[in-house]
A and B are shown apart, each in its own frame.
Chain A
Amino acid sequence: EVQLLESGGGLVQPGGSLRLSCAASGFTFSTYAMNWVRQTPGKGLEWVSAISGGGIYTDYADSVKGRFTISRDNSKNTLYLQMNSLRAEDTAVYYCAKDLDAAGPDWGFDPWGQGTLVTVSS
């Protein structure tokens, strides 16, 4: 069974940093692109970042470009999101999500982890 388990969320002050992790199991991690998607409490979904299976290619939403860094350690089956210069508007539940198909992008995200809450507040 494919499983994704996020961790690392919590309360951080504006301007602070946080690193999220997503531990993957049940599939060949290195062959799938991975994504981070966030959801503000009570609001919709916002894609944050994606990384290719080998970790070579990355993409970011404009709202986080230059502040967030996505990475992965395929030897540990773990995805990361380093978040710096955090702002109040970054407060959200952060989900990691696997690409449905290893053939390439644009096959949808499946499955998603259970999410980890990040709260940016003084």
Chain B
Amino acid sequence: SYELTQPLSVSVALGQTARIPCGGNNIESKNVHWYQQKPGQAPVLVIYRDTNRPSGIPERFSGSNSGNTAILTISRAQAGDEADYYCHVWDSSTAVFGGGTKLTVL
């Protein structure tokens, strides 16, 4: 079965750029979606199909996908960006999620 690998945690200084990787075998051949989940809340889609932002998501959120790694980039990080972030792909009619990365804004 397909697996997605994310670091448990990423830290970023306030106002700086955070990059959250999601690793998978030849992941560039798949569409990668990203979700933000704050404590006690449901996940929210922040990037779909590698690079696209749903309406209402700030331009500070962007995505890329190449080789074996997809990356969620959060520019000018704010305290409100502290959350868990999950990547997601479809593989053989099965949705697969990464284990999640906790983003800490210092």
Contact = CB atoms under 8 A, between A and B. Distances in A.
Do A and B associate with each other?
yes
B45 to A, nearest CB: 4
Contacts of A108: 33, 45, 47-49, 54, 88
Contacts, number: 63
B44 interface: yes
A102 interface: no
Interface string B1-42: 100000000000000000000000000000101010000001
A59 to B, nearest CB: 5
A34 to B, nearest CB: 12
B95 A50 contact: yes
Given A106-B31, A107-B48, A108-B49, A46 B43 contact: no
Interface of B is mostly: strand
B96 interface: yes
A113 B49 CA distance: 21
Contacts of A61: 94
Contacts of A113: 42
Interface string A21-56: 000000000000001010000001111001000000
Interface residues of B, number: 23
A68 B49 CA distance: 29
Nearest to B90: A106
Interface in B51-106: 54, 86, 88, 90, 93-100
A106 B31 CA distance: 7
B45 A59 contact: no
Interface string A78-122: 000000000000000001010010000111111111110000000
B45 A109 contact: yes
B43 A45 contact: yes
Interface of B: 1, 31, 33, 35, 42-45, 47-49, 54, 86, 88, 90, 93-100
7 contacts: A35-B95, A37-B97, A45-B100, A108-B49, A110-B44, A110-B45, A110-B48
Closest 3 CB pairs of A and B: A108-B48, A47-B95, A108-B33
